[in-house]
Amino acid sequence: MRCHRHSVNSALTLTALLIVITAEAAAAAAHGHHGASILEVTDYNPISGLRNRRFSLAETVLRLLRSGAAERHFTAFVEQYGKSYSTREEYLLRLEIFAKNLVRAAEHQAADPTAVHGVTQFSDLTEEEFERLYTGVRGGGGVAAEAAAAVAVDDGDLPEDFDWREKGAVTEVKMQGPCGACWAFSTTGAVEGANFIASGKLLNLSEQQLVDCDNTCDLSDKSACDNGCSGGLMTNAYRYLIEAGGLEEESTYPYAGKRGECQFKQDSIAVKVVNFTSIPINEDQIAAHLVHHGPLAVGLNAVFMQTYIGGVSCPLICGKRWINHGVLLVGYGSKGFSILRLGKQPYWTIKNSWGKRWGEDGYYRLCRGHGMCGMNTMVSAVVTQVS
C-alpha cells in the first residue's frame, strides 16, 4: 500500500480547522445566548452530536457568518486554491455556500467517521453545481444491457493486498476540470490498463476524443447518451470505440476541458477496443477480475466525495441507486487506516479525475464488502487488441 502521510496530515489540519470554526461560532453565539451549542466534530460520539444539536442548518450558517469565522477561513481557502470572483455579489454568494459546506463537511464527518472530511477545492460550490460540473455519469445504476456478463473467475486465492499502480498499469492522476466528463476518464483508464496488460506498454490515452466525438446512446435507454461535458456512460464509450476503430493518445488529441468539433483521425489510433464485459455485483468477483484482468471502470454515488480529504470512506448511509460519477478501480487493501480509531477497514483503491490536490493525491479509498455507495452496481472491463 502506498504511503499517504502528506494527505493524512493535511486532513487532520482541515479537521482541526472545522473544530476551530465551530468553536469560534459557538463562542460568538454564547456571548449573547447563554448555553447555546452547535455541531462539533470532536465529539467521541458524533452521531449523538448530530441528533442533539440545537441549531438548524440555516441558524448554524448564520452564526458562522456573523461571527466572522467563516470569512476568515474563506479568505484562506480563496488564497490556497487561487479562487477569484468577478463581483462583490458573487463573493458573498460563494462565502455563504462555503459556510454551508463547512457544516455539511462536519455532518459528513459524523456520518463517515473512518474518513476525514473538510475543506476541498469544491467548498464554494453547491451540491447541484458540484454534481453538474465534476461528476458526469448519466443513466442511473447498472451496466448497460448489451454488455456481456463476465465469466466467473476463481476468487479463492487472491492476494491480501493488490495495487495495479505498483505494476505500472495506471497513468498519472488527471484533471477533468469543470466538465462533466468523468465517464471519459473512467473509460480511458480502463483501456489504458487493459492495453498495458496486453502489450506491456502504458499509454496516456485521449479523453478529448470521447468528449468531442462520442454521441453513442444506451441500447436500452435512448435518453442515456454520451454528450461531452454534459455526461455519458462508460459502456456507451466502449461501443463507440469499437465502432470508430480505436482511441488516440493524449499527445495527438489533447484534453481541452470543453466540447469541440471532432478531430479524430483513423491513422492516429493508438489502441483498439474489441470487447467489453459487465462484472457481477459480488465484490469477491470484482476483486478477482481486478487482479486477473486489470483496472476496472466503476460508477458510484459521489455524495461524500465533495468534502473528502482522506482515510477509508465508509458512510453509515450512502445511496446505492443514484450513480453519478465514473472512476477507476485500481486495487484494494485489507487494513485501511482509521482516523478515529474505529477499527481497520478493508478498502478499495479508486483513481479519480479531479487532480492530485483532491483526496489522497487524487485517490479515494472506499470500504470494501458493503456495496458502498453503489460501487458494485456499474463495474465493467474492456478488452483491447494486441497489434
Task: Give CA angle at 227 (130, 124), nearest 5°.
Answer: 10
Domain ranges (residues) in the chain: 5-111, 132-384
For residue 102, which phi and psi values (nearest 5 degrees)? -65, -45
Termini Cα distance of the chain:
33
Residue 125's closest CA among 376, 354, 370, 313?
354
* pLDDT tens-place values along the chain, 387 residues long: 333 433 444 444 444 555 555 445 444 444 444 333 323 233 333 333 333 444 566 676 777 777 778 899 899 999 999 999 999 999 999 999 999 999 999 999 999 999 999 999 999 999 999 999 999 998 754 554 456 666 777 777 899 999 999 999 999 999 999 999 999 999 999 999 999 999 999 999 999 999 999 999 988 888 899 999 999 999 999 999 999 999 999 999 999 999 999 999 999 999 999 999 999 999 999 999 999 999 999 999 999 999 999 999 999 999 988 899 999 999 999 987 665 555 677 999 999 999 999 999 999 999 999 999 999 999 999 999 976
Spatial distance between the Cα atoms of 51 and 295, rounded to a whole number of angstroms: 40
**Which CATH number is 132-384 given?**
3.90.70.10
Q: Which helix (H) or strand (E) holds 209?
A: helix 207-213
Whole-number pLDDT of residue 204: 98
Complete DSSP assignment for 135-202: --B-S-SS--TTSEEPPP---SS--SSEEGGGGT--PPP-B--SSS-HHHHHHHHHHHHHHHHHHS--
The pairing of beta strand 308-313 with beta strand 363-367: parallel
Q: Which helix (H) or strand (E) holds 309?
A: strand 308-313
Spatial distance between the Cα atoms of 226 and 232, rounded to a whole number of angstroms: 4
Whole-number pLDDT of residue 45: 34
Q: Residue 28's CB: how many other CB atoms inside 10 A?
A: 17
Grid coordinates 456571548 are at which residue? 31
Asked if residues 98 and 70 have their Cβ atoms less than 8 Å apart, the reply is yes
Grid coordinates 458512510 are at which residue? 315
* Residues catalogued as catalytic: 182, 325, 352
Report residue 206 as a C-alpha cell: 485521449
Whole-number pLDDT of residue 147: 60
Whole-number pLDDT of residue 36: 31
